Amino acid sequence: MRSEQERKSNRSVKKEWTVAFYLASTGDRHDMEEIRVSPDYNWFRSTVPLRRIIVDDDDSKVWSLYDAGPKSIRCPIIFLPPVSGRAEVFFQQVLALTGWGYRVISLQYPVYWDLLEFCDGFRKLLDHLQLDKVHLFGASLGGFLAQKFAECTHKSPRVHSLILCNSFSDTSIFNQTWTANSFWLMPAFMLKKIVLGNFAKGPVDPRMADAIDFMVDRLESLNQSELASRLTLNCQNSYVEPHKIKDTAVTLIDVFDQSALSNEAKEEMYKLYPNARRAHLKTGGNFPYLCRSAEVNLYIQIHLRQFHGTRYAAINPAMR
């Protein structure tokens, strides 16, 4: 058996490979650790505990989540990450929103290979947490999963509202449906190369550079099955059926600069949700919740404000 020192050495080599590949495609970065060593991130990691919960019969399927804010709130806002993200990528939303009195849950999903399997697991998680209905914020894949969960539970609604950030409604936009069933066979380095190909290239401002570097680090921490299953969910042939969630309040957040989403995909979202509130950011790339957090947090607060004073408020009434 390999020693722990050997395993650490191999992990270090793999991380260096990922970073080297990314830097080769984007040019040199000023500091690879800016967000990870920031006071806000370290405060978050030291004050908000990471919980691990199993709700499936398969003990290997572990939900990891940060649950912050008043536990008396029964309709919190839950954050779902993109393919490359983990629960901590929304740390700035957790800190800001809980400071305003909201209950916030940021999670990362176990390995699920099928959308219905994901929806069933997520429903069990909400049951375990004794949450009847929730507000969902989803980024990219997280937004697609949020829509599919709302669709899947429309006969007995579990989703009260949706905030969709740089998200999509039809997986065919990625032109990968024909390879979706083969991701499980690919080695981790190849899967990471696929994901990195969607990251912004060329010059970006320092905050966006920090956000990209932070997400590269998160990507490196995902194992082969986590990455392969997320890419499978992201690319297997599926689309949202809007008539099943037409009564759900929706806010769409997107950016005007370069992101993984095409303009056609954004226009399709506007058509799908003609009554949705639209929040446009001049810049922000793929990860505006990291590099434009103040603006994103404001849009989230505006979205949630419409539910104040109702049983679906995500905020402590004393803090309104």
For residue 124, what are the CA distances in angstroms to 93, 148, 238, 313?
Answer: 25, 15, 22, 22
- What pLDDT does 256 receive? 87
What dihedral do alpha carbons 112, 50, 129, 311 form, nearest 10°? -110
Across the range 127-149, mean pLDDT stands at 97
For residue 24, name the pLDDT band (cuts at 50, 70, 90).
very low
Mean pLDDT of 153-170: 95
d(CA 130, CA 208): 37
Q: Is 70 exceeded by the pLDDT of residue 289?
A: yes
Determine which of 143-152, 163-172, 190-199 has the lowest per-residue pLDDT on average.
190-199
Cα-Cα-Cα-Cα dihedral sign, residues 259, 262, 268, 271: positive
What would the mean pLDDT of 20-43 be, rounded to a whole number?
Answer: 64
Q: For residue 28, is pLDDT > 50?
A: no
pLDDT band at 320 (very low <50, low <70, confident <90, very high): low
pLDDT tens-digit series, residues 68-87: 999 999 999 999 999 999 99
Cα separation, 118 vs 116, in Å, equals 5
Task: Say which residue, 70 or 10, is predicted with more confidence.
Answer: 70
Written as six digits, the tokens of 30 are: 């000023």
For residues 33 and 41, is the Cβ–Cβ distance under 8 A? no
Task: Give the three-class secondary structure for 252.
Answer: strand
Q: Please state, in angstroms and rounded to a whole number, the distance separating the CA atoms of residues 112 and 232.
A: 9
Least confident piece of the model among 214-223, 258-267, 274-283, 293-302: 258-267
Q: Is the pLDDT of residue 283 over 60?
A: yes
Percent of the chain with pLDDT over 70: 89
Across the chain, what does the average pLDDT equal? 88
The pLDDT value recorded for residue 181 is: 86
Please, which pLDDT band fits residue 26 given cuts at 50, 70 and 90?
Answer: very low
Report the percent of the chain where pLDDT is more than 90: 72
Confidence category of residue 5, pLDDT binned at 50, 70, 90 = low
Q: Higher-confidence residue: 315 or 261?
A: 315
Task: Specify the DSSP element, H or E, that contains 253.
Answer: strand 249-255
What's the pLDDT band for 200 if we cut at 50, 70, 90? low
pLDDT at 176: 77
Q: Lowest mean pLDDT of 9-23, 42-56, 129-143, name the range.
A: 9-23
Q: Which two tokens stand for residue 205?
A: 């401002």
Q: What DSSP string describes 148-212? A: HHHHHTTTS--EEEEEEES--SBGGGGS-TTTGGGGGGS-HHHHHHHHHTTS--S---HHHHHHH
Neighbours of 221 (CB within 10 A): 12
What pLDDT sits at residue 29?
44
34 Rama class: left (phi>0) / alpha (psi -120 to 50) / beta: alpha
Quick: pLDDT tens for 221-262: 999 999 999 999 999 999 999 999 989 999 999 998 878 788
| Parallel/antiparallel/unpaired status of strands 104-108 and 77-80 | parallel
Residues comprising the chain, all counted: 320
Which stretch of DSSP H or E encloses residue 22? helix 4-26
pLDDT at 21: 42
Query: 192: pLDDT confidence band, cut at 50, 70 and 90?
Result: very high
Predicted pLDDT at 173: 83
Sheet holding 62-68, edge to edge: 50-54, 62-68, 104-108, 77-80, 134-139, 159-165, 249-255, 277-281
CA angle (300, 74, 115) in 5-degree steps: 70
208, 186 contact by CB (below 8 A): no
Question: What is the spatial distance between Cα 117 and Cα 185, in angstroms, rounded to a whole number?
Answer: 20
The structure tokens listed for 25 are 């495609």
